[in-house]
Structure 1
Amino acid sequence: MLALIFPGQGAQTDGFLHRLPPHPAVHATLDEASSVLGIDILTLDTPDALRSTVAVQCGLTVAGVALARALADEGLKPEMSAGLSVGAYPAAVSCGALTFHDALNMVRRRAELMEAAYPSGYGLAAVSGLTEHELATLAARHAEAGEPPVYIGNVNAPRQIVMAGANAALDSFLARALAAGARKATRLAVSVPSHCELLANASDELSAYARTIHFSAPQSIYIGNRGGRPLYTADAIRDDLATNMRYTVRWFDALTVMQEMGMRVAIEAPPGQVLTDITREHYPDVAALAASTLPLERLTATARRRLETR
């Protein structure tokens, strides 16, 4: 089975929209996005623009949908889709649960709410080498020591965890994690404290907005963020998208479920490669391909060959 996986905020790089494949479906998607958002979408990947949560999240959504459409035009339609954080939105478009037009508008609203809630002073940090339980214990000790709280935001792999919180609290916590045996602890290019209770109010506002948007039952398998499980109804996918900013993203659970359900080839949408690396490390029998590293013609040929031989 073919799965499309879509990266979240932090995967963005300068000029990533300009490096999308030169394919008619990509050009049409860029034009559609520009029309929906009322801007030239290709202005969203400059160094200045990428300081904006709105620009980053909208740009990642466009890149994901553009790649999915180009693959579909080449005869590669996924049996399952999943995305990390904002990547869940192009995943929902990919499986037919949400239109691209509505996804763009909902992502823009999502990013505006997140940015307004915490315009500065907050962010995310990745910690490698410690388990979720170990980091939860360290976070509790951190709070007991009188530090502002930090939260487990993403469980990307058993020992690859993203923490959320205020900048000073994260910096202090990273030192604590390294002292406790973390292999690596680094800040991410994200300026909001995603996937924790700090965004509860913003999540409630987005949930109210989402009730005005039409969702459909998915035409292929959609794997949710919060539970890392397949979701089969329009309401379940609406809730997953509207609330994932508030809850820990269970990416490794989602990846495991896809593998158990028969995923044999996984293609990661531009500009990401981290999800590909995680898949290769933990599920080497899955052919994981990062679209940003291969020309579209080679990507499609490789995917077809792997699907035929597995």
Structure 2
Amino acid sequence: MLAFIFPGQGAQTEGFLHRLGTHTAIQTTLDEASAVLNVDVLTLDTQTALESTVAVQMGLLIAGVAIQRALAAEGLAPELSAGLSVGAYAAAVSCGAIDFAAALLMVRKRAELMETAYPRGYGLSAIAGLTEHEIEKLADSQARDAAARVYVGNVNAPRQIVVAGSDAALDAFNERALAAGARKATRLAVSVPSHCELLAAAADALTDYARDVPFRAPSSGYIGNRGGRALYTAHAVRDDLATNMRYTVRWFDALTVMIEMGAKVFVEAPPGQVLTDIVREQYPDMAAIAASTLPFERLAPTIHRRLESAA
């Protein structure tokens, strides 16, 4: 079974949209996105543009949908789709729950709400080597000691946790985590405190916006962010997308569920390979391919071979 996984903010690199390739479906997707947004989307991946949460999130959606469509044109439509954070929007397009144009406009609204709520001074840190329970204890301790609360934003793997908060809180927490035995504590290229209660008001506003966005029941498997479970109705997917900015992303649960549902080959949409590395580390018997590491003319044949081997 083929599963597509779509990365979230932090995976972006300068020029990532320019490196997608020349497949007809990719070019069509770029043209469609430019028409919907009334902007040349190839301006969204410059070094300056990537300082904007809005540009980054729209660019990630475009990259995910472009590669999904190109692979589908080569006979590689996924049976399961999941995305981390804003990557969930590409997953929802992939499974047919929302049209690409509607997803673009909703992502733009999402990013604008997040950026307006926290234009500066906030972000995320990745902590490796501590469990969620250990992170929570350290966060509670820091809040008591310094009134500088951080929040668990992503559980990417049992010992790969992302926390959200203010710059000062994150810097202090990184030191605290390393002193407690973490292998790494690194700030991410994200300038908003994603997936915590600091974005509750923004999530409420996006929920109001989403009421008028047309959704359909997924035509293939969609795995949600909040619960890390398969979702089957239009309402459930709408709610997952509209509210995921305020809730912890249960990515490891989502990954585990996909494997339990029969996924054998995982393909990560561009850019980056963070999600691919998680699959390889946590489930080494699974095949995982980062699309950004292969030219497209080699990508599709490689996936076909992996599927044949898995069968």
Return the TM-score normalized by structure 1: 0.99
Counterpart in the other structure of 2:81: 81
Equivalent residue runs for 1:175-214 within 5 Å:
175-214=175-214
1:160 aligns with 2:160: yes
Q: Distance in 2 between matches of 1:42 and 1:64?
A: 14
Counterpart in the other structure of 1:138: 138
Deviation at 1:147, TM superposition (A): 2.8
Deviation at 1:286, TM superposition (A): 1.1
Counterpart in the other structure of 2:39: 39
- Report the 3-state secondary structure (helix = DSSP H, G, I; strand = E; otherwise coil) of the residue aligned with 1:70: helix
Moved over 3 A (4+): none
Q: Distance in 1 between matches of 2:134 and 2:297?
A: 44
Q: Distance in 1 between matches of 2:206 and 2:23?
A: 33
- Report the 3-state secondary structure (helix = DSSP H, G, I; strand = E; otherwise coil) of the residue aligned with 1:3: strand
Equivalent residue runs for 1:187-266 within 5 Å:
187-266=187-266
CA-based RMSD of the aligned residues comes to 0.5
- Report the 3-state secondary structure (helix = DSSP H, G, I; strand = E; otherwise coil) of the residue aligned with 1:266: strand
1:179-227 deviation line (CA, Å, top 9, x unaligned) = 0000000000000000000000000000000000000000000000000
1:2-33 deviation line (CA, Å, top 9, x unaligned) = 00000000000000000002100000000000
- Report the 3-state secondary structure (helix = DSSP H, G, I; strand = E; otherwise coil) of the residue aligned with 1:186: strand
Deviation at 1:302, TM superposition (A): 1.3
1:87-137 deviation line (CA, Å, top 9, x unaligned) = 000000000000000000000000000000000000000000000000000
Identity among equivalent pairs (%) = 73
1:269 aligns with 2:269: yes
Which amino acid in structure 1 is aligned with residue 10 of structure 2? G
Which amino acid in structure 2 is aligned with residue 233 of structure 1? T
Which amino acid in structure 1 is aligned with residue 25 of structure 2? A
Name the count of aligned residue pairs.
310
Deviation at 1:296, TM superposition (A): 1.4
Counterpart in the other structure of 1:68: 68
Return the TM-score normalized by structure 2: 0.99
1:306 aligns with 2:303: no
- Report the 3-state secondary structure (helix = DSSP H, G, I; strand = E; otherwise coil) of the residue aligned with 1:185: strand
Q: Distance in 1 between matches of 2:89 and 2:197?
A: 21
Q: Structure 2: where are the runs of 5+ without partners?
A: none
- Report the 3-state secondary structure (helix = DSSP H, G, I; strand = E; otherwise coil) of the residue aligned with 1:39: coil
